Amino acid sequence: MLSSMGVGLFAASCRRAILRPPTVRAMSTYVESIKVTSKDDSRPFMAVFPDLVRELTVEGAEKDIPLVPKHLMKCIQYTVPTGKRNRGLALATSYQILKPNDKDQELAYILGWCVEFLQAFFLVADDIMDGSETRRGKTTWYKHENVGLAAFNDSILLETCLYTILENHFKDKPYYHDLVQEFRTVTRYTAMGQSLDLLTSLEKTPEGKKNLDAFDMSRYSSIVRMKTSYYSFYLPVVLAMKMARIDNPELCRQAKTILLEMGHFFQVQDDYLDVFGDPKVTGKVGTDIVDGKCSWLIVVALQRANPAQRQALKECYGVDDDSSVEKVKAIYNDLKLPKIYKTFEESSFEDIQTHINQLPGGGQMLPPLVFEVFLKKLYKRHV
């Protein structure tokens, strides 16, 4: 995401040009018209993190149980700031666009870190449930010596940290209760989405095979919306809107629609790259086929497969051997899924841009730039 200075320059130079495009433009033209700084300078955002750790583990520590704050500090430093910090930076970027040069920009950084604590809470628990060995190129937290399943409790501690930060810094703000409510709602939705994903993956046929009959677009869309879209796309922007006191019901409704669409777009990309992306570019080796995930590719393949192909998918999907994985990939290629994906990417981009253009008030109450910055980052990701 953009730095505070980068966002200011970017917003000033682009606002007149792209706040209200008259029509949906071709994507190549649209992307070229947005010049995002190439240097991801997150220093202002990172600068507030040490103080937050200190207030959570030193200043606010229970004096009679020093062992817990010490352990919590290690957990926080290992799990919270070590990723790309996209969600926290997205919040800070959104607020900078909504309220340029506002005195509360540092509060937006702090609120962004609350989102990152939420992300860490989800991922620590997710790694245990998935049995993951690594996360972000490092050993997962629960795999550390003297941690193990205690990491479940650590994940709960991480969640409590975000509410402590909220109380410490926002309790006197008129929008404090709105922030708390958004975090609670999105946490509930994400947990429900995780549960739906796990239950779908665990469904078996009487023969003990993966039950692919449960994999349809309705189920897939529900998993994506609940597990990914709300906390990765909706939450950062809606929190920035709450801070900026943008509470027009119609604006909030349209913003939610756009952000959930972006989340779906992102997850379909992720599913595609898991199979067809270059690990040297994406930074990870795909496992969706072996893990038997309810992904966009398998859902579309099942929609288009002939009886023989469908039977082969039932036999091979979710089976941990190279031969089965290659058979699934071969069927994906036979069904021309890469071409179908590219068509999906084009149409999704244009649909989202159309919804951005339809924001009420001519883009004056809620600048389209808030959404266009992130849409530009999504389009042709890792290509």
| pLDDT mean for each 10 residues of the chain (383 residues) | 40 36 36 38 91 88 78 95 92 95 93 98 91 84 90 96 97 98 98 94 84 95 97 97 93 95 96 89 80 96 98 94 97 98 95 91 82 87 62
Task: Tell me the two tokens of residue 361.
Answer: 């008030």
Task: Please name the residue that has the structure tokens 């930074």.
Answer: 283
Q: Is 135 annotated in the active site?
A: yes
Q: Which domain holds residue 342?
A: 4-378
Assigned domain for 248 exists = yes
pLDDT for 134 equals 82
- CA–CA separation, 91 and 108 (whole Å): 7
pLDDT for 7 equals 42
pLDDT for 365 equals 83
pLDDT for 61 equals 65
- CA–CA separation, 108 and 14 (whole Å): 22
Q: Is 130 annotated in the active site?
A: yes
Q: Is 270 annotated in the active site?
A: yes
Contact between residue 375 and residue 353 where contact means Cβ atoms under 8 Å apart:
yes
pLDDT for 157 equals 96
CATH of the domain at 27: 1.10.600.10
pLDDT for 39 equals 44
pLDDT for 31 equals 35
Residue of 178, 270, 274, 288 with catalytic role: 270
Assigned domain for 118 exists = yes
Give me the number of domains the chain comprises. 1
Q: Is 266 annotated in the active site?
A: yes
- Its sign, for the CA torsion 238, 241, 247, 253, is negative
| Predicted TM-score of the model (pTM) | 0.85
pLDDT for 155 equals 96
Assigned domain for 229 exists = yes
Assigned domain for 224 exists = yes
Assigned domain for 370 exists = yes
Assigned domain for 213 exists = yes
Residue of 35, 43, 54, 84 with catalytic role: 84
pLDDT for 16 equals 34
Instruction: Count CA atoms within 13 Å of residue 91 on its CB side.
Output: 28
Q: Is 41 annotated in the active site?
A: no
Q: Is 227 annotated in the active site?
A: yes
Q: Is 84 annotated in the active site?
A: yes
Assigned domain for 383 exists = no
pLDDT for 201 equals 87
Assigned domain for 79 exists = yes
